[in-house]
Every structure is written in structure tokens, then in C-alpha cells.
A and B are shown apart, each in its own frame.
Chain A
Amino acid sequence: MKRFSVELLGMGVLLALTIFVSSSMGFVKIPTWEVIKIVFSHCLGIKFSGISPLHASVVMDIRLPRILCASLVGGGLAICGVVFQGILLNPLADPYTLGISAGAAFGASIALLFGFSFLGIYTVSLFAFIGGILTLLVVIYLSSTSSGGISSNNLILSGVIVSAILSAGISFCKYLAQERVAIIIFWLLGSFASSTWMNALILAVCLTGSTVVFIFYYRELNVLCLGGKTASSLGINPQQVRILLLTVASLLTGVCVSFSGIIGFVGLLIPHMVRSITGPDHLKLIPLSLLVGAILMVIADTTARAVLPAEVPIGVLTALIGGPFFCYIFRKRQVGF
């Protein structure tokens, strides 16, 4: 437990540093210590000398909301990955396995195709969220047996089938959109470019709530790894716990996707990385995955925004790095862990 506390603290400090350093990077170079002064002067209302108003505005209005959204989405997708892998008893599951991303993408495509804007900038997010949740309901309905049980294999299979149908729907939307196809494609690639403080606030609230629920059920998640029947013999109602955690994780995934677009592989990779360091105990896995996910997403977003010569969609970047890593894990599974 002592080692875990040190790891947790270390990751927390690392996350703060990453956020400050990446806030200093970009078209306008701002020294990191000035970023720290700007943030503290805003949070605590203390006046520091040597802060340029332009720099303050760049950090507070443009970079920080984006960086915070990136860290919250990264952390959110990572803990969703932990929970989905735990519930589905499958180390290769991720927040998108159940078709939630395809549903969200389809919802967003519909909103973009018809140009709905009755909720302003949140219209697409709302459609994406509803799409994701409806997909989850369909997947649960498809995979539940008549006795009310849900097997993890059924869930994954249903998720794949529904995703395939929705992908066709998305392609059809793109086809119909004709010259407006670009906005759909850009949304699907994922981006934090249009992040606002409001997005960050909503994400922070959802992430905090979900993390509390997941930690509350950490022991059940551990016992569920032994399989539903054994978990049941130890006094857990596997269906009930599965449905509850599935719902919370899906809601969180839905919120993340609706603000950032489709950013793949984060939810798959981070739990694996963290598990290989701390072991599979969910009490440690959940908070550490949250922090590591946040750090890596900020680094990825900063790379996409400020390091590469031209801005690259972050979804492309994570898939390009994450895809080969997935292959590596998959191959390692074939030859045995």
C-alpha cells in the first residue's frame, strides 16, 4: 500500500507538470514558470508581477480548457477501459468494444448531416451521447438471455454486430453529405480544438462521479474476474453489478466521446500498461489508470497540436501509436502471458 501511495502521488505530480509544460507549448511560446504564475494568480486571486495579459489570455482562454479536456477524456477513457475489461473478463475489451463509439459517431453524423443546431455547439455532443447510450441498450437487449443473464461473450459479439451495422450507417451519412462530408470526417477523427471551460466542467463532474462508483465497487470487480458463477458463490449478484458498472462506464464513455470525437486505443492500452506495473487489483488499477490516461492524452494532444509541423487529428495519432501496441499485446497472448 505504501508503494502504491508513492506511485499515486508521483503520477499526480507528473500530471500537474505535464499540464503546465504543455500549456507553455504552442505557437506562442510561454515560459513554464509564467504559466504556473498565471494559473495560481487566477485560482487564488494573487497578483504576480511579470505576467503579460496576452499570455494570460492564451493560457486561460485557449490552452488550459483544451488541455484539461484532454486530460479528463484520457483519464475517463482509461478507467472505462479498466471497468469494461474487468466486467467482460476480456483483457482486449475497451470502451468502444460494445459499439458505444460507433453509436456516438452515428448520432454525431446525423446531427452534422442535417445541420441540427437547436442546442448551439452542444447539439452534436448531445446526438453523439444519445447515439452511444441507445447502442448500449440495443447491445444489452441482444445479448441478454431469457433467464435474464448476460454473458460477456454475447456482449462482445453483439457489440461487434451493432458496430458493423452502424458503420454502414455512418458511411451512408458521409455519402449523403456530399460536399459537407469534411465536417463529419473531422468530427470522427477526434479533436480537442473546440474545448471550452464548460466542457471541462461537465467532464470533471462525470469523471469524479464515475470514479467514486468504480472505487466503491473495486472489490466486486476483483471477485468478478474469477467468473460469474464463482463471484455469485462469494455473495455477489454478478448481473446486477455488471449492469450497473456497464451503465456508468458507458455514460462516461458517451460523455467523453461526445466532447472529443472518436479517440481509439486509449481505453485499451492504459489499463494494460498500468496492470503490468501494479497488478490487476482494481483498487490500484482505477486511480492509477486515471492519472496515466490523463498524462498520456495530454502528451498526445500536445504532440498533435504543438510538436508536429502541422496539426494532426488526435484520433489518428492515438490509433497510429496504439494499433501496433495492440498487435503486440495480441501476439503476446497467443504465445502466452
Chain B
Amino acid sequence: MEDKAVYSLKDVSFAYPGDHGREVLSGLRGEFMPGVFYGVLGPNGSGKSTFLELLLGYKRAIKGEIYLKGRPIVHYKKKEIAREVAFVPQQYHINFPFAVRDVVSMGRYPYLRRFSFLSPEDEMMIERVLREMELRSLSERLITELSGGEKQRVMIARAMAQDTPVVLLDEPTSSLDVKHSLRVLSLFREMVDGGEKTVVCVFHNINEAASFCDHLLFLKEGRICAFGPVEEVLNRDTLGEVFEVDAKVYFEKELGCFQVIFKGKGDKS
């Protein structure tokens, strides 16, 4: 079982250098399996984004070890990781007027040799991703002219063009409308169901996470509070502990998943 894990974390801690060893993340352990949609939840500043950056190999753990497919991630070359893991950051500023298609094509960078151009297979992949993300009508538009939500879809398409077994998403729906949020998450859901893909996604909206994820990971102050299947960890106690709110968790029959209703703890009403 263990050697099948995509990620396996062994007591991983992270602190910023020069921050007097104050750990942003500490003692993380757990395993991430292929074919599972993971949601990461936690209050602001609980280390969610840093957690993704560790899985990406962008930041290095100061203690413990992260294994990607059984090999310590620090032993990977950058391009090797890029062929395994794609990433959509929460924020991006593109100051240069690249066409949408050019940005999506950059997703193929890990597969290109230095002076080779895109192969017909690369072009097909780009074409498919543009279609799936409903970006074909925008493909010649300049990224600097798009709205925030359209830009976010381009960045997701860019990550999808990378065609990796693992996808890390940092609040991918934060500037999308309802329709596109559902579309993006459904696409990733299908990718997880259809193959051996693993998605690890930081969520802002707990109900979105509950609808689409198989497993949830709750972070608070850099520690894992709960990590397991949605039906096991999504309950009043966990939400109370992590978010300090009073919440009611119920099974929404029509959606076929758990949903949450909140009531502020400090609220007198």
C-alpha cells in the first residue's frame, strides 16, 4: 500500500530562515494516494499555501522528508518534478501581452528540448485543454486584456497542458463565477475518477470542498488537525476546533454529499 502513495510525508516541518525557527508548518505526516481528490482547509495563515509549495518542491522542509513516488523530493531535478506535478498559484501578475494560446503552450515546457518546437502531440494537447476550459474563442486574445476570472482559467489550462499525474491547486475558483467554478472542479473530479490522477486543492469554501473532494485535510497553526475521508473528518467538532465556529453538518440528499451551515460562536442570537 505504502509504495503506491504519490506523496508520503514523514514528520515534515517548515520555517522561514531568520524567523527564529518559528515553524510555519510542523510535524506533518500522511500519505496521498493516486485517484483521490484531496481538499486542504484551514483558517487564514494556517500554512495552506506553504503546504502546497512544499509538495511542489518550491520550498524545502527544514525537518523530515517528503517522498514523491517513493523518492525524496529533494533528489528530483526541477524538470522531473514538473513532469509529475502541475501547480496553479493563487496569485499571478502577467505584465507582458502574451496570447492565451502562448501561455497555455508554456505548460509543455517540461517536455521540450532546448531548441525544439512544439510537436503535433503538444499542439493536440493544447487544443484539447483550450476546448475543455472553454478558451478556444479567447485563444488569440492577449492575457493582459482578460478579466480576472478568464486569466485564472488560462492559468488552470496552462497547468492542465502540463499533463501530470499530480495537480496542486491553490484556491482555483477564488475569482471564478459559479458556472466556471463548477466546471473547473468537475473537470478535475473527472480527471481523478477517470485515471490515476491525484488532485490536492486548497479551498476557501468548505461546501465546495465537501462536494468535490474524497479526503479533507484540516490545517490549523501549521499542524494537521484532521486528515481523512470527508464523512469521517467533516463534523461539528473538527470545524469548531479549526475555524472556531459553530457549524451544522448534514447530508444533502439531492447533491449526494455533506454540506455545512455556520453559526458564529460569538453570536448571541
**Complex-state Cα separation, A107 to B232, whole angstroms:** 69
Cβ of B187 within 8 Å of any chain A Cβ, yes or no, is no
Nearest CB of chain A from residue B115's CB, rounded to whole Å: 9
Instruction: Choose one: A216, A219, A280; the contact of B97 (CB below 8 Å).
Output: A280
Q: Are B93 and A281 touching (Cβ within 8 A)?
A: no
Q: Name which of B79, B99, B109 has the most chain A CB atoms within 10 A of its CB.
A: B109
Q: B51 contacts the other chain (Cβ, under 8 Å)?
A: no
Most buried by A among B16, B96, B97, B155: B96
Closest to B53 in A: A229
CB pair B92 A90 closer than 8 Å: no
Q: Name 11 A/B residue pairs within 8 A (Cβ), A-sorted.
A: A147-B18, A219-B112, A223-B106, A226-B92, A227-B93, A233-B168, A235-B77, A235-B82, A279-B97, A280-B97, A337-B142
Residue of A nearest to B162 (CB): A234
Interface range, A side: 20 to 34
Q: How far is the CA of A235 from the CA of B77 in the complex (A)?
A: 8
Interface residue? A91 (CB, 8 A): yes
20 additional A-B pairs beyond A230-B87, A235-B83, beta carbons within 8 Å, are A89-B93, A89-B95, A147-B16, A223-B109, A226-B103, A227-B92, A227-B93, A229-B58, A230-B92, A232-B78, A233-B89, A234-B110, A235-B77, A235-B79, A235-B80, A235-B81, A235-B109, A236-B78, A279-B97, A280-B98
In this assembly, does B12 line the interface, its C-beta being within 8 Å of a C-beta of chain A? Answer: no
- The answer to whether A280 touches B96, judged by C-beta atoms less than 8 angstroms apart, is yes
Asked whether A237 lies within 8 Å of B78 as measured between CB atoms, the reply is yes
When the two chains form their complex, are residues A146 and B17 in contact, meaning their CB atoms are under 8 A apart? yes
Interface string of A140-176 (1 = CB under 8 A from B): 0000001100000000000000000000000000000
Instruction: A223 to B103: give the CA distance in the assembly, Å.
Output: 8
Residue A123 at the chain B interface, CB threshold 8 Å? no
The smallest C-beta distance from B95 to any residue of chain A, in angstroms, reads 5
Q: Which chain B residues border A281 with CB–CB below 8 Å?
A: 98, 102
B94 touches A235 (CB 8 A): no
Cross-chain contact A226 with B94 (CB below 8 angstroms): yes
Chain B residues within CB distance 8 Å of chain A: 16-18, 53, 56, 58, 77-83, 85-87, 89, 92-99, 102-103, 106-107, 109-110, 112, 114, 142, 144-145, 155, 158-159, 162, 168
Q: How far is the CB of B136 from chain A (nearest CB, A)?
A: 19
Could you tell me the distance between the alpha carbons of A232 and B110 in the complex, rounded to whole angstroms?
11
- How many residue pairs between the two chains, A and B, have CB atoms under 8 Å in the bound complex? 89
Which residues on the B side are within 8 Å of A275 (C-beta)? Answer: 96-97
CB of A93 to closest CB in B, whole Å: 10
| A234-B106 contact in complex given A219-B112, A229-B58, C-beta closer than 8 Å | yes
Q: Which residue of A lies closest to B145 (CB)?
A: A337
The 8 Å CB contact of A337, one of B16, B97, B102, B159, is B97
CB-based contact B82/A225 at 8 Å = no
Q: Which residues of B contact A227 (CB under 8 A)?
A: 89, 92-94
Interface string of A231-250 (1 = CB under 8 A from B): 01111110000000000000
Closest to A222 in B: B106
B residues in contact with A237, CB < 8 Å? 78
* Bound CA–CA A236/B96 (angstroms): 19
* Residues of B close to A230: CB separation below 8 A: 87, 89, 92, 155, 158
Q: Which 3 A-B pairs have the closest CB atoms?
A: A235-B82, A235-B79, A233-B87
